[in-house]
Amino acid sequence: MEALKQIANVAGYSGLYRILKPGRAGVIVESLDDKKAKTMMGPTARVSVLNDISIYVDDNDEQSMPLSDVLLVINEKYGENLTADPKGSNEELAEFMTSVVPNYDRERVRPTDIKKLISWYNILRQYAPEVFEATTEEAPASAEETTETTEEETKA
């Protein structure tokens, strides 16, 4: 998911942000919401690009699963009909996570992590649907669809 390289979470701030321009004095970000507020995050801000985030799993071969893969599984399984509530009980959150990543590490993946995953997915579906559209190219696409996606990626 190439588009996740442009989207970040900032520690201490709710929601997700699109990275507009990195610089020496920090990074300029735009909130992924209706306000589209632009903010300068200083060099001390902990900005985590979604492309670099992973979920711990219990596999012997792999210690973690990239967030992009987890988001794709959620999208394939639920699409726009995600009914999981980020404010649900810990048992409901664990049940949701098991349905998406059956082998997730139950000791290292906390309920707060699952809450973030659900809310991030909802934000991405609403304000950055191109994240999921770009990944549907794996299925055979017509020439027009491929051209549209390429133009979107070029603009980003």
What are the tens digits of pLDDT across the range 33-77? 999 999 999 999 999 999 999 999 998 678 999 999 999 999 999
Domain 52-133 classification at class level: mainly alpha
- A 10 A CB-CB count for 109 gives 19
What are φ and ψ of residue 49, in 5° steps? -75, 130
Question: Do 2-50 and 52-133 have matching folds?
Answer: no
Question: What pLDDT is stored for residue 139 in this prediction?
Answer: 43
Question: What pLDDT is stored for residue 62 in this prediction?
Answer: 80
What are the tens digits of pLDDT across the range 74-97? 999 999 999 999 999 999 999 999
Question: What pLDDT is stored for residue 37 in this prediction?
Answer: 95
Of the CA atoms within 13 Å of residue 49, those in its CB half-sphere come to: 12
Q: For residues 73 and 101, is the Cβ–Cβ distance under 8 A?
A: yes
Q: For residues 70 and 101, is the Cβ–Cβ distance under 8 A?
A: yes
Q: Is the pLDDT reported for residue 6 higher than 90?
A: yes
SS (H, E, C) the chain: CHHHHHEEEECCCCCCEEEEEEECCEEEEEECCCCCCEEEECCCCCEEEHHHCEEEECCCCCCEEEHHHHHHHHHHHHCCCCCCCCCCCHHHHHHHHHHHCCCECCCCCCHHHHHHHHHHHHHHHHHCCHHHHHHHHHCCCCHHHHHHHHHHHHHC
The more confidently predicted of residues 71 and 1 is: 71
What architecture (CATH level 2) is domain 2-50? Roll (2.30)
What are φ and ψ of residue 153, in 5° steps? -65, -35
What are the tens digits of pLDDT across the range 103-135? 999 999 999 999 999 999 999 999 999 888 755
Q: Is the pLDDT reported for residue 138 higher than 60?
A: no
Q: For residues 105 and 84, is the Cβ–Cβ distance under 8 A?
A: no
Q: Is the pLDDT reported for residue 151 higher than 50?
A: no
- Domains of the chain: which residue ranges? 2-50, 52-133
Question: What pLDDT is stored for residue 59 in this prediction?
Answer: 81
Instruction: Give strand pairing partners of 18.
Output: 7, 30
Question: What pLDDT is stored for residue 3 in this prediction?
Answer: 82
What are the tens digits of pLDDT across the range 10-24? 999 999 999 999 888
Average pLDDT value over all residues in the chain: 86
